Structure 1
Amino acid sequence: MSASGGGQQSALRVRSALFVDFENIHMGLQRLDAAAANRFAVNPQCWLSWLETLAYPALGATDFRRDLLIRYCYLNPVSSARYRAYFTRAGFHVVDCPPLTAAGKNSADIHIVIDVLDILGHPTRFDEVILLSADADYTPVMLRLRAHDRRTVIITSGPSARAFRAACDHVVGEDAFIDDALTLEPRVTHQAGNGAHLAGAPALGQAGGAATADLSLDGTDTARASEPVACGELSPDGVASRSGRLTELPARSLSDDPATNDALPLRRAAAGAPTSPEPPDSTAPAAMAAPGNAVAPATGPGPAVAPPFPAPPSTQDNRLRHAIAEQVRELVTVSERPITLASAAQLVRAQLGPEITEGWAGTGSFKKLLALVDLPGIAISAAPEYLYDPARHTLPAGSQPGGAGQGDPAAPHAELIARISQVTDIPRLSSHEFGALFEELAAEVTAHGFNRTGTSRAVRDRCLERGEHIGRGAVNFVLNGLLYAGRPPQPGDDAQALASSFADNAVLLCQNARMELSGDEVSHLHAWITGNPALVVEVAVAAAPGLVSRAGA
């Protein structure tokens, strides 16, 4: 990328095309948060302002200007006509997609695919395609866009298939979309602790797709609340801090820049190659993206995309690994008890930021990174996996010691839990932590009723007060699972009943992900989540009515 006159680096111009599958997003939001669904439908300018400033690792820049040159919204004129005018006033071209079948199925997906493919031959070379939908049917078109060297971003409001997420450069999940773009509550911004940001590694913000932890290293909130953010406005502590926009400088384009033209593909940034002669303190770390052409999705954990011949870690990777190791060492040092591996990863991410920990310095996972760094005096137990200091900490009952920096792969239930978590994204909490979560959820809903956003924060805080470091992302996953199962928490609910409902939904997630479980494995899955003794149960062949898959199509 070249600099413009006077030696000043200009802002990067990103030419974007936006496609909105209205019914898919709106119906998904209604299941999770009716107020957020209404804000999405009646005030698109609210989330458009957030979208224009959305940064992500594969973009390869912190100073940019996103121009939404195409804005298409596809909606059903029979059921959603009342929302048409709001999108028209926001500069959208609204495409009517009336129902074509008795069941109400419309042709929005076909219209979107045709229009997306049309832009590949458009006189304007679009750098980026942004799609608002959780429909896995769009996976082939995302792969086609990747083959044509276009960046892709999806924003979902519900279950999305792992294959769909893996086909895109960046994923904004329902939690991040609701919290960052559709909330009217005070924004929470974390103050950086010691080593929170590396020298030479900018913080691109918290707008990724994965839910991030809201905890400090010592387990206390270090957040400060700013003024409430009105839709359509930019908050210095919220959206604007993520933009890095330099509108007073001439804009550079991803397409026009000689460093990102056809001779040097756009995804050099995702592969870790330098994209500009900027000084080290203004370039995004190469380790923020998984190696290769595919950027690891941000909506949840998943397998790393590794190159055929792994290269030795770069200097930047080594710096990141050292910084993460220091955070882990401090975390274990100040903790009075063992910490689950999942909680430790969330706490580290909260301190360093999701962009710094994206891809875990080229290793693909937090656990793999721990195996590569020097952490004397710190061990990882067998499943459920805990980080602990053998000299100071006593492992919980049922957990057995493991070697330094590694768990016990021979533990059969640990292997089962690892497989289930990898396929379905279910948080790898211990049975004790699941128990605490459901107990506090039942107590919170009985005391104050259920509101997804407020309840998730309150349950996170309640768990923290009793000494359980359970990130808000894990709480949101459980709440979403209950909502998808048609079993929203209600006052008077019993913790065991909630746990059982979530466990039933977890079984369905495995079934919909084509993960075959034996009766014994299903019983151990229930025991893991509910904390009850494992009892062999029959595996239902068909999905239980009313349950909706978290893993998507």
Structure 2
Amino acid sequence: MARVRAALYLDFDNVFSALIRQDPDVAIQFAEEPGAWLSRLTTSLTVDGPRRWLILRCYMNPGGWVPHPDPSAGTQRLYYSRFRPYFVNAGFEVIDCPRLTHTKNAADIRMVVDAVDALGDPVQHDEFVIASGDSDMTPLLVRLRRADRRTTIVSPADAALAFTSVADRLITSQELLELVQGEPVESEEQPVVVTASGEPEPPASFGQFRDLVTWRFTAAPGPLNLASLAHDLRRQLGTGVDESNWFGFGGFVRALESLRLPHAKFSNHFVWDDSRHGPPETAGGAGSAPEPVVRLSAPLGLPRLPRDMWPPVYQALADYAAGHHFNLTEATRWARDALAEQGVDVSRSAIAFVTRGTAFGGAPLYRTPPPNAEEVATAFADNVLNRAEAAAIALTEEECAEVRSWLGAPDPKA
């Protein structure tokens, strides 16, 4: 198979500072072993095939730092400069980007200029991999798309929808952490096969998935709960569902939508045959989200969970934190399995979303002492509302309280 000529532009400050707030151990591994995850990225999470790196650039503020995550280290600051030799030895060209103002360095501008310059190189770069969660990169992705180049975003956190929607491929922080730790990722377990028509050929077990869903959908006397349906299918189809990330579609609902079931209608929590069933929400279902939650769900990528599912997620994460040395990928897997034993089916991606939000909300699970379920809920709700404000989603105080209530978080004014 011909290799894709690729260019990688890494905003080290942006990626590392986001990762260390989620999982300090893996963030250090990311910075100290770039050659290992780069090798895995060569053949993993690809768009058109394995990559051949023509450009490898790491943009770093040599004076940048974060609070040291290890209190016993004897220093309060962890300077980025200590990681510079690791990237040089891995074949990266390290571009020093010292701070120009109190809060801003020139990394994003340098990345944009260098990427646009690369469009004029004699050798064409087929794919541009942008490792940054900064939505300021959106115009660059638009420019690369206009030049008919493939783009992949490596996002260290929950990036803005306007940013990620422009790219051909999004590598989430969960996938990045798995990549760093050497865990199986989708493209290694489920390589994409292209048919004669040029369309991706789904894995062999996709046919079983299609048959099971079609039978359940046709025989259903009423709307099907998406979470329960996903849980049942995961049990019947086995681990291939998670390893392939729902057969390469990136999520359960997207896999369902690909089947084009006749008269199928979807809501946040249900799928139904519109020719035989009425919408569950209008039929008095208690699962319909309030308007403020609906308004911010799509822009923030908020998982589509019913109100009563949020507290069990917080409790499962608190239980994990209380009994384990924290590891984000292990935490999401452990919490998912623990919830499944209780009959609560929540995807790892949804649990990872909550875990990241909890960390950015000020109660990371690796904290000593670890946060309890109420602290997890509060931090997660705080982060959701902070992200809503940053995205210019206007919410009144009453609507904010409604969002907190839906997410199962206590009212700070109570």
Which of the numbers 186, 200, 209 marks the counterpart of 1:206?
186
**Whose helix fraction is larger, Structure 1's or Structure 2's?**
2
Whether contact under 8 Å (1:325, 1:373) holds in the other structure is no
Trace 1:232-271 onto structure 2 (pairs within 5 A).
239=188, 241=189
Deviations 1:281-338 (A, max 9, x none): x9514x99xxxxxxxxxxxxxxxxxxxxxxxxxxxxxx98x86553435678999xx9
- Does residue 255 of structure 2 align to residue 373 of structure 1? no
Match of residue 136 from structure 2:
137
Measured after TM superposition, the shift of residue 353 of structure 1 is 3.2
Q: CA RMSD in A?
A: 4.0
Which stretch of the first structure deviates more once superposed, 471-480 or 365-374?
365-374
CA distance change for structure 1 residues 168 and 99 in 2, over 3 Å: closer, same or farther? same
Any residues of structure 2 matched to 1:141-156 within 5 Å, and which? Answer: 141-156=140-155
Residue 443 (structure 1) shift: 2.6
Equivalent residues of 2:9, 2:56 under 8 A apart: yes
User: What is the DSSP-based 3-state SS (H/G/I as helix, E as strand, rest coil) of the residue aligned with 1:73?
Assistant: strand
Query: Which residue pairs with 1:95 in the alignment?
Result: 95
Residues in 1 aligned to 2:176 and 2:377: alpha-carbon distance in whole angstroms: 26
Q: Taking structure 1 as reference, are residues 441 and 511 closer, same or farther at Cα in structure 2, changes over 3 Å only?
A: same
Match for residue 525 of structure 1 among 403, 406, 412: 403
1:160 aligns with 2:159: yes
Cα gap change, 1:445/1:477 in structure 2, threshold over 3 Å: closer, same or farther? same
Match of 1:428 among 296, 299, 304: 304
Q: After TM superposition, give the deviation of residue 530 of structure 1 in Å.
A: 0.8
Report the CA distance shift for 1:175/1:106 in structure 2 as closer, same or farther (over 3 A). same
C-alpha contact 1:30 1:37 (8 A) present in aligned 2: yes
Is 2:312 the partner of 1:439? no
Q: 1:450 to 1:51 in 2, by over 3 A?
A: closer
Paired with 1:536 and 1:487, the residues of 2 have a C-alpha distance of 15
**CA drift at 1:495:** 2.4
Number of the residue aligned with 1:67: 52
Q: Which position in structure 2 is the counterpart of 1:21? A: 11
Aligned residues of 1:520 and 1:536 also touching (Cα < 8 A):
no
- Counterpart of 2:213 in structure 1 is 328
8 A Cα contact 2:230 2:345, kept in partner:
no
Aligned-pair CA distance for 1:482: 0.7
Q: Give per-residue Cα distances to partners, 1:151-203, cap 9 Å, x unaligned.
A: 01110112311111011111101011101x1115xx46xxxxxxxxxxxxxxx
Question: Which stretches in structure 1 are left out of the alignment for 5+ residues?
Answer: 1-10, 189-204, 208-238, 246-275, 289-318, 390-401, 539-553
1:157 and 1:86 map into 2 onto residues whose CA distance is 20
In the alignment, which of 485, 507, 525 is matched to residue 361 of structure 2?
A: 485
Give the residue type in structure 1 aligned to 2:180.
L
Superimposed CA distance per residue, residues 373-412 of structure 1 (whole angstroms, 9 cap, x where no aligned partner): 378xxx98xx7734699xxxxxxxxxxxx96384436977
One-letter code of the match for 2:376? L
Aligned to 1:453: 329
SS of the equivalent of 1:74 reads strand
Q: How does 1:47-86 map to 2 (within 5 A)?
A: 47-56=37-46, 58-59=47-48, 64-79=49-64, 80-86=80-86
Report what 2:385 is aligned to.
507
Counterpart of 1:86 in structure 2: which amino acid?
Y
Q: C-alpha deviations, 1:477-531, integer Å up to 9, x for none?
A: 1111010011124557442342233223222222222222234432322221117
Normalising by the residue count of structure 2, what TM-score does the alignment of the two structures yield? 0.79
**Corresponding residue pairs, total:** 385
* Greater Cα radius of gyration, structure 1 or 2: 1
Aligned amino acid, residue 323 of structure 2:
A
Amino acid aligned to 2:401: S
Q: Is the 8 A contact 1:385 1:407 kept in 2?
A: no
How far is 1:416 from its partner?
4.4
CA contact (8 A) 1:523 1:537 kept: no
Describe the shift of the 1:513–1:330 C-alpha distance in structure 2 as closer, same or farther (beyond 3 A).
Answer: farther
Classify the secondary structure of the residue corresponding to 1:26. Answer: helix
Tell me the CA shift for residue 53 of structure 1: 0.4
